[in-house]
Amino acid sequence: MKLNPPVNNRSDKELFNMVSNLKKWTQQARDEAFAELLARNYSEFDITQRVKKNQTTISNYEAKMEDEREQNKTKNYELIDALLLLLFFPITAIIPGNLLAPYWYLNKYNYKRKIRQRIVLSIMSIIIWILIAQQIF
């Protein structure tokens, strides 16, 4: 397996992160990083200790993110955010870009309630703007 950049061009910190992160790196990449750390005069004990510390940090971060995602399920839009979305949704739809990007963001962080609220507010906004346009023209 060819890594880009090669293992011998990576910093010690990167190598320790490679050895520690079981999900991100293959076993072969982790073995190469481990061998490179040994070549850089780190003892197996030092490597093992730092790997355990890094894995603890990674698991704590993942647990924190999972808790946050669980809490995000029931979060609502703040009143001012809902009003701004209601008033300016059509303008954001006209601006070039990906109209679905906010939904992907909300889905990524598990904002289930906000997704439903955004859909309702978007529909309401379009209806309001259609009614305003009818009154003007």
Per-residue pLDDT tens digits for 40-77: 999 999 999 999 999 999 899 999 999 999 999 999 99
pTM (predicted TM-score): 0.62
| Mean per-residue pLDDT over the chain, rounded | 89
pLDDT higher than threshold 70 for residue 32: yes
Tell me the HSE value of 44 on the side-chain side, using a 13 A CA sphere.
1
Q: In the chain, pLDDT over 90 holds for what percent of residues?
A: 64
Band the pLDDT of 1: cuts 50, 70, 90.
low
pLDDT at 94: 77
pLDDT at 111: 94
pLDDT higher than threshold 90 for residue 6: no
Q: Tell how far CA 95 is from the center of its chain.
A: 24
pLDDT at 103: 81
Per-residue pLDDT tens digits for 8-20: 889 999 999 899 9
pLDDT at 2: 75
Q: Tell how far CA 21 is from the center of its chain.
A: 17
